[in-house]
Structure formats: structure tokens, C-alpha cells
Structure 1
Amino acid sequence: MKLKTHLMAGTAATLVALSGSALLAQDMTGPNGETLAENQTFTYRVLDEFPSIDPNLIEDVEGSAIGRNLFEGLMNQDSEGNVVPGVATGYEVSDDGMTYTFTLRDDARWSNGEPVTAGDFVYSWQRAADPATASEYQWYMGLMAIENVDAVMAGEMEPSELGVTAVDDHTLEVRLSQPLPYFAQMVTHTTTFPVPQATIEEFGDAWTQPGNMVSNGAYVLSERVPQERIVLTKNPEYWDAENVYLEEVTALIINDENQALTRYLAGELDQTDVPAGQYPRLSEEYPEQAVSVPNLCTYYYNVNVTEAGLPALQEQSVRQALNLAIDRDVIVENVTAGGQRPAYSLTHWATAGFEVPEADIIGMTQEERNTMAQEMLAEAGYGPDGEPLNVEIIYNTSDAHRSIAVAIGQMWQQTLGVETTLSNQEWQTYLTTRGDKNYQGVARAGWCADYNEASSFLDIMQSDSGYNDSGWTNEEYDALLAEARTAEDPLPLYQQAEAIIQEELPILPIYFYSTVFMMDDAIEGYPLENAQDNWYAKDLYRVAESE
């Protein structure tokens, strides 16, 4: 069903008129004339604590969802993933594609009532690019190709020399070092959102705490209990507050997927992920609540190819053998079972303008793959008749990740005689371990596109990427992506880059995600046609139960 995400002004006016008094459900109608519930709250489950909710420092999917609700960037996405106005009402692009001029709305306000200005974006972008900020997503600023960004990130230029200027309070000029046809998509990402300079300077790292935080999105931070919950409440200063229905949004941190499902079925949650393997049953029992749609994310294993990694994994033939021996059909049909697809490339099949390149491995049967894997491992001197091989698999704590690791470990043992050691780590510890390449074997990873274009996947494997957690370098690969940035048709270059990954295998692609969750059927407005699963609580609303 196509879900509508925009609220009618008439309903919003009714809400404003009734504010401060008891809201009666029969007085509230939705965008399609639905009777709205008196209770306009939304509670959903997340797996882990958020490493940060500072827009310039956010590095994970769930943190980004919080960031989109607390803050608003120049542009937003609609229910289908199209770029639509946010703080900016629109933009103009110079003939050479090198200069973007954004016009900011004059009614955008911070939650303290102060106006949001072009200078707030300048400060935020300079802060994100400044090496002193130590943002895990600093590299994203480099991908945006902003004038002087590489020199700023390297500490060779001052942040003030970044190619972004506040022409006046409502005009932001961005100068690029090369044209990027998807640049407007990139400014929907949290790294580019404005942050309040005065608040940050007053509170330092504590500026993101309740009572300190000043934000410009549809919601404000009202409560945060580490490892338990984050609560957001409607921001009356938001420029479009009259069209926001939900009064409160709560994210509950629940590490156990099955416990979360039990709480959902008990009515404690409005949304939760479907535990691995349970979608077929749940979709049959709760057809109006179980959801599975494509999501631009890829599940894969990083292989530590640095000197700190396992010596055997430095050999390409060993990595190829491990890759061949993964029966992806078994994983997506029997382990995850939620509409995922086998992955043999990094870039998701549903990415706009992308076609997964052909590869011999895709057309083989699993029996043929296993035979080839055994031959390659034996030639490398490992396996039943060679040197024993034990590979550690690290993953962040999750029943689903553990189930996948167990399945892959069994495949490697049965097909190749390779033993595995499983090691689960708390989310923040795991991110640090993986990012520092402080693991010997393979590390579970999932990458979700920051914008709907193949480079959002492929760029993470560049030599200098902040998320190249395999430590892999390849000059030809880097050159292909550099050429693709200015190519009229980048697809052949992207496919060549994918072919290099498929040959050298610094990562082992496993499956392409689907968004698989349970949603209370009283909640409307969720953007099921947004392939990035970028949702905004301001577009959701709760309808009344039918009598």
C-alpha cells in the first residue's frame, strides 16, 4: 500500500486550536479523512545504545534516525526517497555544476526560538571537516567534493577555508572541486545538518544531554537513559509544527530480538524488528503488521588483510575459498527468511542506475562452488590435508548476527574443514575493534547507502575511507572511482570496481537487506517506498481503532 506522508493544513489548524486542552479523537482527522487516535505517540525498538546523537558525529543507522527527528538539514526525503525542501526551500546550480546556492526559509527556528541561518550550516560543515572534531564520518565531507575539503581534513588549511559561505542569513553558497550530480542527495545526511554553535561552546561534549541540547528538527530531546531509552517530544518552534501529529517518540534499547517481539505483541511497542527466520510465520499470523521491503543495505564480512590479520587471510585464494563456501541461499531462505537476496557484490541490487555485474560465481550451483573452494584452499596449503585454519568471526551482540555466524562457521567446517571462533561484542566496543582493525579474522558489517547512488557503497572501500575496515588498498580501484565522479555514464566504471572486489575479496558479501519489521497497523505514514528506509516521525500519525 502506498502510504501518504503529508498532513493536511486543516487538520493541523485543528490541532493548534485545541492545544492545551484535551484532544478528542473524533475532532481529529487524518490526511485521508481518518479518525485519529487521541494518543499520538510512537514507541519503537533499537538494538544498541547510540554511539552519538551529535549530527557531526553520528555514524550508525539508528543514530541517524534520531538525528533526522531532532535536526533538519537543507533537504529532506519524501516517502519515495525523492529530495524535497527542508530548511532550504530550494537551490540553484551553476552551469558548470560547481556551485550550489541554497535559499533558506525565513521561518526556520532553533528550539530556543533563535533563527536558523546559513551561518549555522557553515559552522557545522567546518566542524565536521575539522580534524580536531575527530568525526568518524569526516570522510563523508571529502566525498562531497567541497572546495578545499581534503586540505582542511588533512590539517593543511583552516576550516574557515572550506568552500562554503553564508552570503547572508538565508543564502548558503557551496563551491565544489568537481561536479557531483547527486550532491543534493548528499545534504539529506545527518553529517551535513546544522548544529548550534553557542550551545556547543557553552556545554562542550555535554551539549547533547537533555536540558542542554538545542535542535532545529520536529522534535526536541526530553529524556535519555543510557542503555534504556531516548524520548523525543514535539518541538513547538519547528517551522512546520502545525503539520506534525506525533507528540512523543520513544526509542527503547532492547538487545534481545525475541524479547522485543514479545513486548511488541503485548502492546508495549509500535514497531520492532522481526527476529531472524520468523518472518514467514509472522506474516501469516499478522499480515497487516509484518513488513518486508527492499532496503539499500548490504550485509558482509570484512576480512582483515593488514599485517595484523591472520596470515592465511592475506592470501587471495584463501579468501576466495571462504567466499565460495558460503551458501547464501541457505542463509536468506532458512536463517534470515525475510525477503533478503543473496549478495555477490557490495552495491545493493536496488540502487538507482546500478546493475549488478555478471560473475561466474553467481551462475554456479553451490556444489560447484564448494568443489572449487576445496581445490583453492588445498592449493594454498590449508584444509583437511594441509595446515589447520581457525578463523575468528566477530560481531556485535545480536541473536540474528550470531545465527548467521554459526551458519557460516558450519559451512566452512563442513566444506573446507575450517574451524571458527565466534566473538560477540557490545556495539561501541565492536565499532572500535573493527575500526582499529584489532581483529585477526573476519568482522561482521552492514553498510546502508547514505544516498541512492552506487558510489555510496563503493566509496567505503577506497584506500582512505574511514569505513574501509579491512585495511585493503588498491590503486586501480581508487582510480576507477575517481574517474566515475566525472563520467557521463559511471555504471561501467562502477562495475569494473565491483569486479575488483569480487576478485580480491577484502570483503565477503553475504546478502542484500530487506527492511523486515512488525508495525502496529494503527501507525500510518511510514515510507515503505523509500529504499533507504529514511523515515521522519513528523510524517507519522496514529489512527483510531475501528469500532
Structure 2
Amino acid sequence: MGNMKQMKKVLAVALAVVMALTALVACAPSSASEGGEAKKVLRFATTTEPTSLDPQLGSGTWITNVTGAIFEGLVRRYNGEILPGMAESWEISDDNLTYTFHLRDASWNDDEPITAQDFVDSWNLLIQRATPMAQFTDYFTVDGKANARAVDEKTLEVTLNYPVPFMMEVFAMSATTVVRTDKYEETGDAYYQSVPAAMNGPFLLTEWKANDIMVLEPNPDYWDAEKVNFNRVEIYTVKDDTTQVNMFENGEIDLLTVPDTMYGDFEDKGIMYYEDGSNFYIQFTTDGQTDETAKYLANRDFIEAVSACIDRENFVNSVYGGAYQPTVEFVPGSSTGYNGGKKSDSGVTIGSPFTIKADLVKAQEKLDAALEALGATADTMPTFTLVVSDAAVRQTAAQYIQDVCAQIGIQIEIDTIPSATFWSTLREGYRYDFAMAGSGPDVDDASTFLKVFDGEGLYADTFMRWHSDEYATILADSWVAADDAQRTEDLVAMEEYLLSNGPVIPLYFTQAAWLMADGFTNINRNMTGADLDYVFGDKTA
């Protein structure tokens, strides 16, 4: 401005006034500041956007990372501990069958009070809907109703059918959270496919742009609002892993779940590992894509032929850069319930019909036996489908399976379903032969992996159309086992039965890794519950 020598004096004065006012405005609170302090914002990305925020429908991490913040049940699991939620206290009877919860005075964000009867109604709705999450009400369901009652407005009593050692974890799950049954009954599933009208968690979902961004802001009416530090949480949908990495390195997001193929790239950049307790496998259906392929899937020699084509060590190294542990078992070593502790520390051994290394001679022998039993030949054998999401690494994994099976003449066609609709599509009865799948623990107990293979509407029934009376008997026995030793024996028997007769071919167990920008504290990654738990996190720099 000093170079503008022809400027009139009056204009110079006016400009000086404008500049002074601008400086004053810059010092005042704005959308970027609050009370003179910078807003605390957490930004992260997810490859899959929820198609629904229905806590009774799904427990995928891309769902619970949101629902765990905007809804709250009786208790909350945070940093490995069970903390009070809508219940401020509780008692458990000496026989571990009756749980009595005392609710605090709390309301939904539309001022509707939360009562003990709301929990009873929520659980009965879940039982009625019979979604896969309804399995967690089996512990207290009698004659199609929750064995629970509202003693009064703020006292809830729940009676179990048998003692469940991890029951408080179940009460911390999204499946057993309180929901607005009146809202659901008005619009059905559509209620959770946009911003819910009623929320009761530490945060409120204030914006949801499909395939773009979800924005959460603090719930001013949350009972423990003073512990909520972030003013805003931004969750971006970014399907490409490399794009997420670039966003983190450019400072556009504050937290990065490191892609499993890139662990080695970040070893000297502060990478943090955590045990996520997940397993990955090939699952198959009893009905197949066609009646013809279903005959092959029912033949155990054929299934073992497919497995024997797969060198699990080579698969993990070539597809995932050696990030995971190849396995022929189904329950991860981190699972508890074995002799009172973790499976990996219990000394148990699991008999499996599968092998870590490929064995093409065995694979051909098993295939020949299957063809003979089916009255078929290699020339008449049909082509099979392998369903997989559109995530790049899943495509690579599917191509690996396709290539190794072709070595003995098993032809596989890859059927791609978008990640956002992968599970909802399969849930609707989509016919397929094989699918690349994985599961993580809902509770810190081996039963979380084994229970879902029995029961109408549960995982195996819904996605594989598989059931076994023998397996169901062993599972039922495990719940009433007299001691840890007997329960351990039952858990081993279930896993061995599943490996020899069930609809799964195990591949590997996972670990997860992440990076966090400087200045963030008290953000946790969990093996159960919300994978990313940020509700009480903070930004100190």
C-alpha cells in the first residue's frame, strides 16, 4: 500500500479503519475457534460407508465406529473396561443369572426420557426382527420374548437362561443398546438409512453426505458431556487405500488405518500394532450358485481339494506382504474361554484336515475322488463363482485363489459386489459358491466365532444356509459345562467339527496397524466393540 503514492488521504484513512476492523474480527471466536481456543477436530477415513446405522442389524467396524458414538446402551466398553452408560449401577445375583440395572435420568436428544421399559421393548423388537444380531438375546430369550422386566421406570431386571461369563460385554454391544421402537415402527429400515431423529450417545450425527462425509458433533445433553473433548468428528468415505495414505501424509486426516499391504512402509514412521482378533477364510454355501455346483460343495473331498491348492504362507506373503499369520484353524489364539484363559496359552491342539503348505498331489487325489463319487469327469465339472468385494486387496486375493485352483482344473469365476452392499446382498439370499470373508470378535470369548454356526437367522444359516444338529448339541453342552476343563473340551470339539464338516476353509489370522497425528490422546483401537473408540479422545496440540 505504501507504493500507491497517488492515493487520497481520505481513502488511506478508510482503508486503515477497514484493516483494523478485520484484525478485530480475526481475533473473535468463529467456526474455527470457540471461546478463543481452536476447535478440536478429529478426521479419519473409512473404505466402506454404512448403508444403515441400525444397531440391531450389523456390527461391522464401519458401522460401530459411528453407532458407538451416537447411541449408548446400559454400559459402554472403553479401553478394555466396562463403564457405566445409561445404567449408573448394577448388581449380579450369586448364581450369575439375574442382572439388575439402575438407570440414570437420561433422555434422547428430542427430550424423550429413556426408561427401563424402553430396553425391554428394544430387545423384543430385535428378537422379532430376527437379524443376525438377535443371537445375542438368546441368552435371555424365553418363548420368543426377552426375559426382562421393568421393575419401575429406572430399574431393569434381566434373567439369563444359563450363566454367561462375558455377559457384561454383551450388554455393551450395539445389538443390546436401547433403540427408539416408535421411530422404527413408523418407517422401518429406512429410519436408519439417514440421520436418525433420536440419538443418546456422546455425539450427534449432524451431516451425512452419501459416499462423501459423515459429521459428528457433541451431544450437549449427554449425561457425561464434560468428558467429550472433540468439537467435531469428520469421517470421510475413501475407498482407495493409497488415497487414504496420501491424505494422512498431507495432513488431511489425523488417523490412518494402515493398509495391510503397506505395514513395511511405515515401520520407521511410528506405526502401532494392535490385536484385532479376526480370522479370514473362504466360506461356501450348501445351495451353491446352481444346483449342479451345490453337489460339489457338499462333497468333502472337493472342499479339501480346493484347500490343498492354497499355499497359505505364499498367499499371505504375496497378497499381504507377510502381515498376517497363515492358519488352518478357525478360532484365533487371542480368544479366551480355554482353561480359564487365552487359547494360545492353554496348551490345546486343534485337529484340522487342512495344511498350511499347498500339496497339489493331494489336491488332485481329492478332486479325483470327488469326481468319482459324483459320477463326473474333469470335462463335465462346472465353473464355480467366488464372490468378493471391490476392495483392491480382496480382488488380488481372489485372483490368487482363482489361479492356484486352476492348476488342477478347478475353474473359478470372480463375482464382484461393491463393498458398500457386499453383506446386505449376501444377506438377501444371493446364490454363490465361494466367498472371501472374515469375522472379528463381538465379545472376548471363543464362542463369538463358534456360536454363529448354529441357530436360525444367524451367520451360517443366513449366509451359507448351513446347519448341523451334532454341532448344535456340542454348542449347547458348552454353555452348561461344569467347569473350565469341560468347556475347553467342548470348544475344541466344536472347532474340529467345523473344520471337518462346516462351510469354511481357513486362511489366516490378522493383526491391525495404525498411525495417529501428533497431539491426539486417549483414542483406542479395540478387539471387540467399536474398533476405533474416540468418544473420550482429546487433542492437546
| TM-score bracket for the superposition, by shorter chain length | 0.7 to 0.9
What's the CA shift for 1:484? 0.5
Q: Contact between 2:304 and 2:354, CA under 8 Å: does it hold in 1?
A: no
Equivalent residue, structure 2, for 1:98? 97
Match of 1:509 among 495, 498, 506: 506
Measured in 2, the distance between the counterparts of 1:94 and 1:246 equals 39
> Given the superposition, is the C-alpha separation of residues 461 and 364 from structure 1 closer, same or farther in structure 2, using an over 3 Å criterion?
closer
Measured in 1, the distance between the counterparts of 2:492 and 2:255 equals 37
Match of 1:481 among 475, 493, 499: 475
> Given the superposition, is the C-alpha separation of residues 221 and 371 from structure 1 closer, same or farther in structure 2, using an over 3 Å criterion?
same
Report which stretch shifted further, 60-69 or 532-541: 532-541
Equivalent residue, structure 2, for 1:110? 108
Equivalent residue, structure 1, for 2:137? 141
1:518 aligned to 2:515?
yes
Measured in 1, the distance between the counterparts of 2:458 and 2:236 equals 29
Identity of aligned residues (%): 25
SS at match of 1:296: coil
What's the CA shift for 1:539? 2.1
Q: Contact between 2:103 and 2:154, CA under 8 Å: does it hold in 1?
A: yes
Any stretches of 5+ residues in structure 1 without a counterpart?
A: 1-18, 26-37, 153-160
Report which stretch shifted further, 213-222 or 500-509: 500-509
Report which stretch shifted further, 493-502 or 274-283: 274-283
Measured in 2, the distance between the counterparts of 1:339 and 1:524 equals 26
Correspondences of 1:117-128 after superposition (within 5 Å): 117-128=115-126
What's the CA shift for 1:532? 5.6
Correspondences of 1:463-502 after superposition (within 5 Å): 463-468=455-460, 469-487=463-481, 488-489=483-484, 490-502=487-499
Measured in 2, the distance between the counterparts of 1:273 and 1:306 equals 36
1:444 aligned to 2:436?
yes
SS at match of 1:392: strand
What's the CA shift for 1:174? 0.7
Equivalent residue, structure 2, for 1:273? 257
Q: Contact between 1:118 and 1:169, CA under 8 Å: does it hold in 2?
A: yes
SS at match of 1:483: helix
Correspondences of 1:62-461 after superposition (within 5 Å): 62-79=62-79, 81-106=80-105, 108-131=106-129, 135-142=131-138, 145-148=139-142, 151-152=143-144, 161-200=145-184, 205=189, 207-208=191-192, 213-284=197-268, 286=269, 288=270, 290-306=271-287, 309=290, 310=293, 311-337=295-321, 339-354=323-338, 355=343, 358-359=349-350, 366-367=357-358, 369-381=359-371, 387-388=380-381, 390-414=383-407, 416-427=408-419, 429-461=421-453
Q: Cα deviation per residue 1:38-58 (whole Å; 9 max; x = unaligned)?
A: 341112211223131122233
> Given the superposition, is the C-alpha separation of residues 76 and 337 from structure 1 closer, same or farther in structure 2, using an over 3 Å criterion?
farther
What's the CA shift for 1:90? 3.0
Q: What amino acid does structure 2 have at the position aligned with 1:86?
A: G
Measured in 1, the distance between the counterparts of 2:377 and 2:212 equals 47
> Given the superposition, is the C-alpha separation of residues 532 and 137 from structure 1 closer, same or farther in structure 2, using an over 3 Å criterion?
closer
What's the CA shift for 1:298? 1.4
Equivalent residue, structure 1, for 2:20? none
SS at match of 2:371: coil
SS at match of 1:496: helix
Q: Contact between 2:289 and 2:432, CA under 8 Å: does it hold in 1?
A: yes
Report which stretch shifted further, 182-191 or 56-65: 56-65
Q: Contact between 1:121 and 1:195, CA under 8 Å: does it hold in 2?
A: yes
Q: TM-score, normalised by structure 1?
A: 0.83
Q: What amino acid does structure 2 have at the position aligned with 1:373?
A: A
Measured in 1, the distance between the counterparts of 2:526 and 2:429 equals 36
Measured in 2, the distance between the counterparts of 1:508 and 1:209 equals 34
Measured in 2, the distance between the counterparts of 1:532 and 1:293 equals 14
Any stretches of 5+ residues in structure 2 without a counterpart?
A: 1-30
> Given the superposition, is the C-alpha separation of residues 99 and 425 from structure 1 closer, same or farther in structure 2, using an over 3 Å criterion?
same
What's the CA shift for 1:492? 1.0
SS at match of 2:366: helix
Q: Contact between 1:56 and 1:127, CA under 8 Å: does it hold in 2?
A: no
Correspondences of 1:3-22 after superposition (within 5 Å): 22=34
SS at match of 1:227: coil
Q: Cα deviation per residue 1:469-498 (whole Å; 9 max; x = unaligned)?
A: 222221111111111111122111011011
Q: What amino acid does structure 1 have at the position aligned with 2:102?
A: T
SS at match of 1:380: helix
What's the CA shift for 1:384? 9.7
Q: Cα deviation per residue 1:362-414 (whole Å; 9 max; x = unaligned)?
A: 996625x4432222112223899665453311112201111111122222223
What's the CA shift for 1:361? 5.5
What's the CA shift for 1:305? 2.0
Q: Contact between 2:59 and 2:174, CA under 8 Å: does it hold in 1?
A: no
> Given the superposition, is the C-alpha separation of residues 470 and 114 from structure 1 closer, same or farther in structure 2, using an over 3 Å criterion?
closer
> Given the superposition, is the C-alpha separation of residues 62 and 211 from structure 1 closer, same or farther in structure 2, using an over 3 Å criterion?
closer
> Given the superposition, is the C-alpha separation of residues 324 and 165 from structure 1 closer, same or farther in structure 2, using an over 3 Å criterion?
same
Measured in 2, the distance between the counterparts of 1:139 and 1:347 equals 19
Q: What amino acid does structure 2 have at the position aligned with 1:265?
A: E
What's the CA shift for 1:333? 2.7
What's the CA shift for 1:91? 2.0
Measured in 2, the distance between the counterparts of 1:222 and 1:452 equals 32
Measured in 1, the distance between the counterparts of 2:298 and 2:353 equals 24
What's the CA shift for 1:428? 5.0
Measured in 2, the distance between the counterparts of 1:385 and 1:426 equals 32
Measured in 1, the distance between the counterparts of 2:75 and 2:273 equals 27
Measured in 2, the distance between the counterparts of 1:232 and 1:214 equals 14
Measured in 2, the distance between the counterparts of 1:68 and 1:206 equals 20
Measured in 2, the distance between the counterparts of 1:307 and 1:407 equals 21
Q: Cα deviation per residue 1:441-465 (whole Å; 9 max; x = unaligned)?
A: 2012221111111111101111524
> Given the superposition, is the C-alpha separation of residues 213 and 338 from structure 1 closer, same or farther in structure 2, using an over 3 Å criterion?
farther
Report which stretch shifted further, 47-56 or 451-460: 47-56
Q: What amino acid does structure 2 have at the position aligned with 1:493?
A: D
Q: Cα deviation per residue 1:123-162 (whole Å; 9 max; x = unaligned)?
A: 211211123xx634233322xx2141xx32xxxxxxxx53
1:47 aligned to 2:37?
no
SS at match of 1:521: coil
Report which stretch shifted further, 521-530 or 327-336: 521-530
Measured in 1, the distance between the counterparts of 2:389 and 2:332 equals 22
Report which stretch shifted further, 202-211 or 461-470: 202-211
What's the CA shift for 1:88? 1.5
> Given the superposition, is the C-alpha separation of residues 440 and 538 from structure 1 closer, same or farther in structure 2, using an over 3 Å criterion?
closer
Equivalent residue, structure 1, for 2:539? 542
